[in-house]
Amino acid sequence: MATDGSLQYRFGSLDENGSEKAVEFEYPANRSGSLRHFYGATYTHQGTYTQSVRFATPTFSYSVFTQARGVRDLGAGVEIRNLATGKTTVISCSERPRFYIFELKGFLACDAKTPVGNRCIK
């Protein structure tokens, strides 16, 4: 696995011009060595193809994903799981994000927490 570069997840709001207004959540705070905090996977489960990048804090697991069935786009979003209760919430994207997961191949560890077991970006 490569160690060059960094990755950071940021969530927040934009102003009326589309510029960053406020960052509500940023992980990790320090980009140095950040690649070791993320897991990437591509897999098919029950006919749905998924691309995902996952990370976890001490209390929550976050999975940023896109899904498709054949050529039909099923959407994208962030799945947030409370590690203490198991409760899961999905925040859907209002538009299809630009998700270049294959550029992360070789940089992120494989994800053992997919519905089909350990998977990597292929």
Domain boundaries, the chain: 36-119
Per-residue pLDDT at 63: 97
Which residues are paired to 36 by β-bridges? none
Q: What CA–CA distance (Å, rounded) separates 42 from 115?
A: 11
Per-residue pLDDT band at 2 (split at 50, 70, 90)? low
pLDDT in tens, 52-96: 999 999 999 999 999 999 999 899 999 999 999 999 999 998 777
- Buried-exposed string 20-58: b where 16+ CB fall within 10 A, e elsewhere: eeeeeeebbeeeeebbebbbbbbbeeeeeebbbbbbbee
pLDDT in tens, 36-55: 999 999 999 999 999 999 99
Q: What CA–CA distance (Å, rounded) separates 92 from 74?
A: 11
Please provide residue 36's backbone torsions phi and psi, each rounded to the nearest 5 degrees.
-70, -10
Per-residue pLDDT at 97: 72
Per-residue pLDDT at 20: 82
pTM of the model: 0.88
Question: How many C-beta neighbours within 10 Å does residue 62 have?
Answer: 19
Closest CA to 39 of 1, 86, 73: 1
